[in-house]
Amino acid sequence: MDKKSLMELLDSLTLNEKIGQLSQVHPTVLFEDGIVTGVINDNTFSEEHIKNIGSVINIFGKDKIRAVQENHLKNSKIPLLFMADVIVGYDVIFPSGLSQGCTFDPELIKKLSRISATEMAADGVNVTFSPMVDLCRDARWGRVSESYGEDVLLNCKMAEAVVKGYQGDDLNALDTVSACVKHFAAYSAPVSGRDYNSVDMSERTLRQEYLRSYKAAVDAGSEMLMTSFNTIAGVPCTIDKRLVKDILRDEWGFKGVVITDHGSLGEQYSTGHGVASNSAEVAKFAIDATVDIEMAGDCLFKNIQNLIQEGKLSEDQIDAAVFRILELKNKLGLFEDPYKYIDNDLYEKIDRQQNLEVAKRAVVEGSVLLKNEDSALPINPESTKVAFIGPYLSCDVTSPVWSFHLKNRIVGPTMENYLKENYPDSDFTYSFGCPILDNGDWVSEFCQEDNDEYFKNEDRYIADAVEKAKNADIVVLALGEHYAYHGESKSRADIRLHKIQRDLVDKIYEANQNITAVIFSGRPLDITDISKKLKSILFVWEPGSMAAEGITDMLFGKELPSGKLSMCIPYCVGQMPIHYSELRTGRYAELGQKHSFGSRFVDAPIKPLYPFGYGLTYTTFEYSDLKIDKTTLTPDSEITVTVSVKNTGQRDAWEIVQMYTHDVVAYMVSRPMKELKDFKRVFIKAGETAQVSFKITEDMLRFYNYDMVYESESGEFEVFVGPDSETTDCVTFTLEK
Ligand code: NOJ
């Protein structure tokens, strides 16, 4: 449909029909059952309104989608949009966002979202509530697993890749869907890491660091954006005109659809944020902020008509919102054919095996080898007696939380089953060890654990594990955070492994000190104590459908883990929030070495256990000969920085080479000690040396200066190139403007 016809369609709608487009209903409004991904308030929709709604959330399956659309079109001339939380794949489940961040491979991540789009579009879903590009620096926050980590540039690159992967070149194609970047803004920085809690940060930090990845998604063409639940400086983001209208639309030029998060408009009264005394006020705030769709709430529906009659809102404002929604439906081709996504056999034709191979690559690229003393890994499965012990060995919940509601998701075998099937002749033993959770630990209503049998016979279980450990050359412990301990509303105050598993490490260590731990987790954990007892540590996060095969191949050296930390592994929870790109502070250099007034902890180091960008593999790399081709940069020139990276080990391998800069002096504004400016994943054969180059241009050095203008400043810069954020190898140049 061309723009004129779309305008005519808009003009032909009654006000009630227009208001309908602004509502997104939850499946339980339409049927008795339905997937629940948020609080269901007592929304009261009239039957008339339900006939006019514009979109639904989390309805899956061609048959169901067809039935809902058919029913809807009996009363409405505007097809429904089917939106869903397809965050880590649809049928083939990929590793969590955090693991994807650790790949430092935007091209691969683009492929993952391309695959997701293909699978979901072929099953009738038009919009995915992804990517989540919230910058994460506090591992207590339950949703760090969904993010790409702590770094601005990495988040921006991933945001762009994912949006392009979902949306492809043509939104009208049968294998593309609309992205919806979220959660605008700074949802990831709640005070004390507690989900939904207030966010309080300077405008400089907000703009310089937190807003950047949403903007990258917008610049990449994301058709939708979701507002966040939190307040910033006391103002709830979901109704904040300054954030949504002034920054997102007017400053950044976003023309797409803005949707609220689940029921968030209903959280503005005195029982919530307390910024409005009734829903009419909230509806006015939201529409003035240019919010278009209310997810799972009735605030807009109930009030817009009256607000227009009272002259508090204009019908033009509603028209603008409705037009944006119609435009999206039009781009997706729903007016030509509301059934185009389901009237085909693309879903049946998808090559899942091929997609699983890509998923496996993501497991390998996103897993981070933190420690590998005495080259304990890889293990030769032919000649080594291995005792596989631990709760994650037989646990089949190794996929990210946001896949649990996807009914056709591919779960994949447990590690134990996979090993037994594929290595039947190896000298392997298996023991449960202990449950994931201690007796009496909190479990969510969705994940009841039944470990009575274990706790009645605990001694027997432990004896079995210890015995098998004693008789093995090496022990592989499959440990991890319980899957109900991260995700939405799952913040933690203690980010260590569950005590029962820490105790298991102690007991096994007494029997055999050659221990490798494979750690499943939704967040960076505090593993400081147990790490001392482990020879190797392989962090695999939440690997998804290809967990067992990917991990086994890494353990046995068929594949080399090649991820680097996209969020540091802290030394202890008290360091939170922490990130490598902190400001130096006036007291940093001393660190308490010269006198006792350093910016430090008296009972813990200020550095994390493993820094951002860190990760090992089954070879070693040597960096040398860092060079810069000029020492002066001007706005119309560029500088090239080159480093030699030699693979000094026995295996061909990938290395992620990272370039950071430091702006030595800036007028009145302290600048981060290091900022990642570029990175490259390079494949280097054993014994060979790669020359890796990076370009630096003036625009890469801009920041929000004292007057909050985004520009660079003349002066000296340091450039660091190395294997992680603690690299000290540096050259300098001067920016002359
Ligand atoms: C709330 C979450 O914050 C958001 O990420 C998700 O997309 C919606 N619920 C819908 O399930």
State pLDDT tens for residues 156-195: 999 999 999 999 999 999 999 999 999 999 999 999 999 9
Which ligand 1 atom is the nearest neighbour of the CA of 187?
3
Which ligand 1 atom is the nearest neighbour of the CA of 295?
10
The whole model's pTM is what? 0.97
Q: Which of 314, 226, 210 is nearest to 262 (CA)?
A: 226
How do residues 37-68 score in pLDDT, each as one tens digit? Answer: 777 777 788 899 999 999 999 999 999 999 99
Say yes or no to pLDDT of 324 above 70.
Answer: yes
* Ligand 1 pocket test target in 182, 188, 195, 404 with most atoms within 8 Å of CB: 182
DSSP-derived 3-state class of residue 733: strand
Residue at 113: amino acid letter: S
CA distance 536 to 518: 8
Minimum CA distance residue for ligand 1 atom 8: 262
Residues in the chain: 737
User: Exposure pattern of 592-612 as b/e (b: 16+ CB <10 Å)?
Assistant: eeeeeebbbeeeeeeebbbbb
Say yes or no to pLDDT of 89 above 90.
Answer: yes
State the distance from the centre of ligand 1 to the C-alpha of 402, rounded, in angstroms.
10
**Helix 106-121 vs helix 352-366: crossing angle, to nearest 10:** 150
CA distance 468 to 69: 57
- Number of helical (H) and strand (E) elements in the chain, helices listed first: 22, 26
- The more confident residue out of 58 and 27 is 58
Give the pLDDT confidence score for residue 446 in this predicted structure. 66
Confidence label for 248 from pLDDT (cuts 50, 70 and 90): very high
* Ligand 1 pocket test target in 26, 82, 85 with most atoms within 8 Å of CB: 85
Give the pLDDT confidence score for residue 33 in this predicted structure. 76
DSSP H or E run through 719: strand 715-722
* Ligand 1 pocket test target in 57, 145, 488, 490 with most atoms within 8 Å of CB: 488
* Ligand 1 pocket test target in 58, 143, 226 with most atoms within 8 Å of CB: 226
The lowest-confidence range among 39-48, 205-214, 472-481 is 39-48
State the distance from the centre of ligand 1 to the C-alpha of 211, rounded, in angstroms.
19
Confidence label for 440 from pLDDT (cuts 50, 70 and 90): confident
DSSP H or E run through 554: helix 547-555
State the distance from the centre of ligand 1 to the C-alpha of 513, rounded, in angstroms.
44
Q: Which two tokens stand for residue 514?
A: 């050659």
Which ligand 1 atom is the nearest neighbour of the CA of 38?
9
Question: Cα–Cα distances in Å, from 362 out to 94, 163, 551, 563?
Answer: 7, 18, 11, 9
Confidence label for 591 from pLDDT (cuts 50, 70 and 90): low
Minimum CA distance residue for ligand 1 atom 11: 37
Mean pLDDT of 393-400: 94
CA distance 34 to 27: 5
For all residues of the chain together, what is the average pLDDT? 96
Mean pLDDT of 125-147: 98
Q: Which of 160, 80, 152, 163 is nearest to 129 (CA)?
A: 163
Q: Which two tokens stand for residue 15?
A: 């006000």
Give the pLDDT confidence score for residue 31 in this predicted structure. 80
CA dihedral 601, 605, 610, 612 (to 10 degrees): 50
CB-based contact 244:296 (threshold 8 Å) = no
Q: Which of 363, 296, 346, 25 is nearest to 177 (CA)?
A: 346
State the distance from the centre of ligand 1 to the C-alpha of 262, rounded, in angstroms.
6
Which ligand 1 atom is the nearest neighbour of the CA of 228?
3
State the distance from the centre of ligand 1 to the C-alpha of 688, rounded, in angstroms.
47
Give the pLDDT confidence score for residue 448 in this predicted structure. 66
Mean pLDDT of 117-122: 98
CA distance 665 to 663: 6
Minimum CA distance residue for ligand 1 atom 3: 261
261 a catalytic residue = yes
Give the pLDDT confidence score for residue 204 in this predicted structure. 97
Which ligand 1 atom is the nearest neighbour of the CA of 85?
7
CA distance 621 to 654: 10
The lowest-confidence range among 6-15, 406-415, 438-447 is 438-447
Q: Which of 175, 97, 182 is nearest to 132 (CA)?
A: 182
Q: Give the up-direction half-sphere exposure of residue 81: CA atoms within 13 A in the CB hemisphere.
A: 31
Give the pLDDT confidence score for residue 261 in this predicted structure. 98
* Ligand 1 pocket test target in 35, 57, 225, 262 with most atoms within 8 Å of CB: 262
Say yes or no to pLDDT of 85 above 70.
Answer: yes
Residue at 639: amino acid letter: I
Q: Which two tokens stand for residue 694?
A: 């990076």
Which ligand 1 atom is the nearest neighbour of the CA of 132?
5
Give the pLDDT confidence score for residue 659 in this predicted structure. 98
State the distance from the centre of ligand 1 to the C-alpha of 48, rounded, in angstroms.
27
Own/partner long-range contacts of 33-39 (Cβ < 8 Å, ≥24 apart): 34/58, 34/59, 35/59, 35/60, 35/405, 37/85, 37/262, 37/405, 38/261, 38/262, 38/263, 38/296, 39/262, 39/263
Give the pLDDT confidence score for residue 590 in this predicted structure. 57
State the distance from the centre of ligand 1 to the C-alpha of 5, rounded, in angstroms.
33
Mean pLDDT of 482-500: 96
Mean pLDDT of 463-482: 98
How do residues 571-581 score in pLDDT, each as one tens digit? Answer: 999 999 999 99
CA distance 387 to 433: 11
Which ligand 1 atom is the nearest neighbour of the CA of 37?
11
State the distance from the centre of ligand 1 to the C-alpha of 169, rounded, in angstroms.
26
Q: Which two tokens stand for residue 546?
A: 């290809």
Mean pLDDT of 391-419: 95
Q: Which two tokens stand for residue 355?
A: 């997609």
Minimum CA distance residue for ligand 1 atom 9: 262
State the distance from the centre of ligand 1 to the C-alpha of 575, rounded, in angstroms.
28
Minimum CA distance residue for ligand 1 atom 7: 129
Which ligand 1 atom is the nearest neighbour of the CA of 180?
7
Minimum CA distance residue for ligand 1 atom 1: 262
Q: Ligand 1 site: residues with CB under 6 angstroms?
A: 37-38, 85, 129, 182-183, 261-262, 488
Q: Which of 310, 257, 301, 258 is nearest to 283 (CA)?
A: 301
State the distance from the centre of ligand 1 to the C-alpha of 37, rounded, in angstroms.
7
Give the pLDDT confidence score for residue 600 in this predicted structure. 86
Confidence label for 674 from pLDDT (cuts 50, 70 and 90): very high
Q: Which of 466, 480, 565 is nearest to 527 (CA)?
A: 480
**Which residue of the set 138, 261, 526, 678 is catalytic?**
261
User: Exposure pattern of 334-346 as b/e (b: 16+ CB <10 Å)?
Assistant: bbeebbbbbeeeb
DSSP-derived 3-state class of residue 412: coil
CA distance 296 to 37: 10
CA dihedral sign of residues 506, 511, 517, 521: negative
**184 strand-pairing partners:** 227
Share of the chain above pLDDT 70, in %: 99
State the distance from the centre of ligand 1 to the C-alpha of 497, rounded, in angstroms.
27
Preceding omega of 183 cis (within 30 degrees of 0) = yes
Own/partner long-range contacts of 492-497 (Cβ < 8 Å, ≥24 apart): 492/140, 492/142, 492/193, 492/523, 493/140, 493/573, 494/573, 495/139, 495/140, 495/523, 495/524, 495/525, 495/526, 495/570, 495/573, 495/576, 496/525, 496/526, 496/527, 496/529, 496/573, 497/525, 497/527, 497/530
Give the pLDDT confidence score for residue 518 in this predicted structure. 98
Extract the runs of DSSP E, i.e. beta strands, from 213-268: 224-227, 231-232, 235-236, 257-259
How do residues 352-361 score in pLDDT, each as one tens digit? Answer: 999 999 999 9
Give the pLDDT confidence score for residue 593 in this predicted structure. 58
How do residues 593-643 score in pLDDT, each as one tens digit? Answer: 566 788 888 899 999 999 999 999 999 999 999 999 999 999 999 999 999
Give the pLDDT confidence score for residue 259 in this predicted structure. 98
DSSP-derived 3-state class of residue 628: strand
Give the pLDDT confidence score for residue 37 in this predicted structure. 78
Give the pLDDT confidence score for residue 604 in this predicted structure. 92
**231 strand-pairing partners:** 236
Give the pLDDT confidence score for residue 43 in this predicted structure. 73
Give the pLDDT confidence score for residue 594 in this predicted structure. 61
Residue at 183: amino acid letter: H
Give the pLDDT confidence score for residue 42 in this predicted structure. 72
Give the pLDDT confidence score for residue 592 in this predicted structure. 53
